[in-house]
Structure 1
């Protein structure tokens, strides 16, 4: 597995003291990962090395290619070396059950997916609106989580971000139980990768659909993050920053509760607020 942290020299300019100091900085690693279905290339994503099998499994779930653990026969690293002859671990091959319908050539992502954009390269927005095998039911008569507990999740997430603490350069996604218990947490340079890693880990442990859970993310709530949550059956997605208009639209359509600007003592609930108790 590749390194999570790279150390580089940087010149720090202090405008207050007019000093220029060269020092070593820790940066979060960003490397390409090629995903193959069988022996055929499917996509390349930029990610932070680590939890790569979870990333691939979660990605395949969010792409509506698989939805049951039995459909994923195996995951393995393929041989790959850098210029120094060291194994890169930057190619993962997924063997799927023979009856799994593979995406056609028009749906394959023949471009690199950057760490900032998870849906770059798909044929159209319509191709991204996929039907979940785990539809989210209507909000229950009783709220799923208290507002007080929900408001405390960003701080809990931040305290557990070990890689962010060292680099300041990664996103995080975490699954919480309604009582605020942390269930899973993953970090990555890409928001969508962090969510895929969380969903993939749960998928491989046969925990989908993730009903009665809350997905807390460290950045904004994009259309794709709402889609990934809906594909895994997660009923509540909370973000510390703003959602996009398309994210709100998709959350409303899919029955998901979308929360934004969850900071300190305030939060905005954009859809299906019946899951949030006083």
Structure 2
């Protein structure tokens, strides 16, 4: 079990609420998960002609912002290996001091080629991007080329039954707020290796993948990913890019998520709870 993570004070807020029980009302204090915008900027180009631009803004729970940024850049195909990312800093040239920790600048290697016209467009992972499913899947292949092993790894079906309980037991911020998604990496034997929480399910996964990317641990072929909610196309795309072979979820997958998983060679299991689950793609990896 990983060591407990000390939660940053910016991850939650204290509020005053009126609690109603039956016909009675009392004043009490409550804790809510924080939600603030994170602006991701990139620096790129030759050393003598560096340029900077805003790449994206996402609503997230503060904490592990560098991991979130690294995971986003990696799963969107802007960086493919650790040397592509020179450094991550909270941007110093932000007018309001209180907003500086909401702007992260990623310095990219000067030799890294960027498709600037593509950066002008909305990322294809947006649920409102307006492209069809076939185009979305082809875009992921073209930009990131996810390839998963055609043989193995294998996991015992019983292992998946244990994962939701282990995930829930380690959700420290959820215990206080009740309002967060979680993503976690497990070994093939079911050992919890890494967990991150966020108000956005895609942010939680980017934080997990970003942490592994910064450590030089991708691709993550020998890992199981468990997410606390449903499985969207976006989560399948990010998992495939990171080389994750088995994606399990407490909730249901979407039809496009399953189609993408079948194309990428990713095993997807849904409704993993209460001693049962459904396998939607590549069930051959589950072997007793």
Give the TM-score normalised by the residue count of structure 2.
Answer: 0.87
1:73 is matched with: 86
Q: 2: CA distance between counterparts of 1:123 and 1:267?
A: 31
Q: 2: CA distance between counterparts of 1:267 and 1:72?
A: 38
2:49 is matched with: none
Structure 2, unmatched stretches of 5+, are 1-7, 44-51
Mark the CA change 1:59 to 1:257 in structure 2 (over 3 Å): closer, same or farther.
same
Give the TM-score normalised by the residue count of structure 1.
Answer: 0.90
1:119 is matched with: 126
Whether the aligned pair in 2 keeps the contact of 1:8 and 1:26 (CA below 8 Å) is: yes
2:250 is matched with: 240
Q: 2: CA distance between counterparts of 1:100 and 1:92?
A: 19
> Is 2:60 the counterpart of 1:55?
no
Pick from 29, 33, 39 the counterpart of residue 28 of structure 1: 33
Q: 1: CA distance between counterparts of 2:34 and 2:131?
A: 30
1:171 is matched with: 181
> Is 2:150 the counterpart of 1:138?
yes
Deviations 1:25-66 (A, max 9, x none): 100000000001112011100000010000000001110111
> Is 2:281 the counterpart of 1:271?
yes
Question: Across the two proteins, how many residue pairs are aligned to each other?
Answer: 267
Whether the aligned pair in 2 keeps the contact of 1:107 and 1:122 (CA below 8 Å) is: no
| TM-fit CA distance, 1:109 | 5.9
- Following TM superposition, where does structure 1 have runs of at least 4 consecutive aligned residues deviating by more than 6 angstroms? none
Q: 2: CA distance between counterparts of 1:103 and 1:2?
A: 38
> Is 2:200 the counterpart of 1:190?
yes
Determine which structure has the larger helix proportion and give its number: 2
2:215 is matched with: 205
Q: 1: CA distance between counterparts of 2:111 and 2:129?
A: 23
CA-atom RMSD in angstroms: 2.1
| TM-fit CA distance, 1:123 | 6.8
| TM-fit CA distance, 1:185 | 0.6
| TM-fit CA distance, 1:94 | 0.6
Q: 1: CA distance between counterparts of 2:197 and 2:216?
A: 21
Whether the aligned pair in 1 keeps the contact of 2:38 and 2:104 (CA below 8 Å) is: yes
